[in-house]
């Protein structure tokens, strides 16, 4: 049995994160119905400084959810429709000659925002995708040799349609590995869909949303996440899950060390959102699918058998021992 220390009273900072997360969740919930898991995972990404890959069919509220989050934290928001003819300068910005000043000036592109919705990101060419990759990893954009810092927080919510794949450029593994989580908004229940009709009957509730947390507060809250305690046994559990994917015959490519770090950080954010200053094994287990699933590359034999990465990952979750302690609640 692994020794773990029960931490009864969370610190003031963690309590503030919990309160802010509750306000954001409630505010977004005024617009988005029946997508609690997607909202929570997006909150985890915002706090962790990670990016989100939204894989879902059109019309499920992906754009609306992104706008609702931006309004809820008083952040700047830009939507970029990715197409095959989109150039890197179209998203990064350009230097142009100003006749008024008689000098070159920088005109920032839509990537210079706190929350960027990259709609149908897999329709852009690899050249444009690589420009987005630098921004996601380094939080910078390089235009004609000059590096520009992106605003904080900076989160990319990228969408791709899992059904319509004609004319797309599949995201390379290196870029998929930069997304903290992959999620689906999904269809609402019958009652939930009826509630959507009622809420949008007169006007979109999105228009009336106001900020309940400021963007700089969110950045300050993110800096407190290292205060969330992670026992060695829990951290080792995250590492063992990732290592198990590398050794499993179903995968040609398992989870990278970056994936282990992403799982570790996401678990800390999830615990803080729940109001805890310690991570439980259940936090790791619950986040394994959304954090690891999109980073795994199945072997051709596994795909021929009709198995998905989520299927195999569920099998691994059932075989890797979970650390147990009487003191953890």
Cα 113 versus chain centre, distance: 16
The string over 68-92, giving b where at least 16 C-beta atoms fall within 10 Å of a residue's C-beta and e elsewhere, is bbbbbbbbebbbbebeeebebebbb
For residue 4, is it within any domain? no
Determine the average pLDDT of the residues in 259-267. 96
Q: What pLDDT, on the 0 to 100 scale, is given for residue 1?
A: 35
For residue 259, is it within any domain? yes
For residue 58, is it within any domain? yes
* Res. 164 pLDDT band, cuts 50 70 90: low
Q: What pLDDT, on the 0 to 100 scale, is given for residue 329?
A: 42
185, 255: one domain? no
Nearest CA-CA partner of 219 in 307, 302, 154: 154
155, 281: one domain? no
Joined tokens for residue 93: 């910005």
Range name among 58-72, 154-168, 181-195, 226-240 with the lowest pLDDT average:
154-168
Which CATH number belongs to the domain containing residue 235 in this structure?
1.10.8.80
Q: What pLDDT, on the 0 to 100 scale, is given for residue 111?
A: 92
181, 295: one domain? no
How many angstroms separate the Cα of 248 from the Cα of each of 31, 174, 297, 316, 323?
A: 41, 20, 11, 9, 21
Please identify, among 186, 201, 224, the residue that sits at the C-terminal boundary of a domain.
224
82, 218: one domain? yes
Q: Quote the domain boundaries for residue 161.
A: 11-224
Q: What pLDDT, on the 0 to 100 scale, is given for residue 3?
A: 39
19, 77: one domain? yes
* Res. 100 pLDDT band, cuts 50 70 90: confident
Residues 221 and 17: their CA atoms lie apart, in Å, by: 6
Joined tokens for residue 196: 């959507």
Nearest CA-CA partner of 54 in 110, 118, 123, 129: 118
Rg (CA), the chain: 21
The pTM is what?
A: 0.87
pLDDT higher at 79 or 172? 79
177, 36: one domain? yes
Per-residue pLDDT for 5 more than 60?
no
Per-residue pLDDT for 101 more than 80?
no
Say how many domains are in the chain.
2
Q: What pLDDT, on the 0 to 100 scale, is given for residue 13?
A: 84
27, 74: one domain? yes
Q: In this prediction, what percent of the chain has a pLDDT beyond 90?
A: 54
Please identify, among 181, 200, 224, the residue that sits at the C-terminal boundary of a domain.
224
* pLDDT per residue as tens digits for the range 222-234: 999 999 999 999 9
Joined tokens for residue 268: 């800390």
Per-residue pLDDT for 163 more than 70?
no
The string over 228-264, giving b where at least 16 C-beta atoms fall within 10 Å of a residue's C-beta and e elsewhere, is bebbebbbebbbbbbebbeebebbeebbbeebbebbb
Nearest CA-CA partner of 218 in 79, 114, 68, 65: 114
Determine the average pLDDT of the residues in 87-113. 83
* Res. 327 pLDDT band, cuts 50 70 90: very low
96, 175: one domain? yes
94 in helix, strand or coil?
strand
* Res. 7 pLDDT band, cuts 50 70 90: low
Which CATH number belongs to the domain containing residue 134 in this structure?
3.40.50.300
């Amino acid at each position: 049995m692994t020794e773990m220390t029960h931490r009864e009273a969370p610190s003031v900072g963690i309590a503030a994160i919990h309160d802010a997360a509750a306000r954001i969740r409630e505010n977004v919930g005024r617009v988005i119905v029946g997508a609690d898991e997607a909202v929570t995972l997006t909150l985890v990404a915002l706090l962790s400084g990670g990016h989100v890959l939204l894989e879902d069919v059109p019309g499920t509220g992906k754009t609306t959810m992104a706008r609702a989050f931006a309004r809820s934290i008083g952040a700047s928001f830009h939507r970029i429709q990715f197409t095959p003819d989109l150039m890197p300068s179209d998203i990064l910005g350009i230097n142009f000659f100003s006749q008024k000043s008689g000098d070159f000036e920088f005109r920032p592109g839509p990537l210079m925002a706190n929350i960027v919705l990259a709609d149908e990101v897999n329709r852009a060419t690899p050249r444009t995708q690589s420009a987005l990759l630098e921004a996601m990893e380094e939080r910078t954009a390089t235009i004609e040799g000059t590096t520009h810092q992106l605003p904080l927080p900076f989160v990319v919510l990228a969408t791709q349609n899992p059904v319509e794949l004609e004319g797309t450029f599949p995201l390379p593994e290196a870029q998929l590995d930069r997304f903290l989580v992959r999620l689906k908004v999904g269809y609402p229940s019958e009652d939930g869909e009826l509630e959507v009709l009622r809420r949008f009957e007169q006007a979109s509730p999105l228009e009336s949303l106001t900020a309940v947390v400021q963007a700089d507060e969110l950045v300050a809250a993110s800096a407190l996440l290292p205060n969330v305690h992670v026992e060695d046994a829990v951290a080792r559990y995250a590492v063992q899950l990732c290592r198990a994917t590398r050794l499993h015959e179903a995968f040609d490519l398992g989870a990278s060390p970056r994936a282990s770090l992403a799982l570790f950080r996401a678990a800390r954010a999830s615990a803080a959102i729940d109001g805890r200053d310690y991570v439980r094994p259940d936090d790791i287990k619950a986040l394994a699918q959304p954090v690891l699933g999109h980073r795994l590359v199945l072997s051709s034999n596994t795909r021929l058998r009709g198995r998905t990465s989520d299927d195999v990952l569920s099998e691994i979750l059932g075989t890797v021992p979970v650390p147990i302690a009487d003191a953890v609640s």
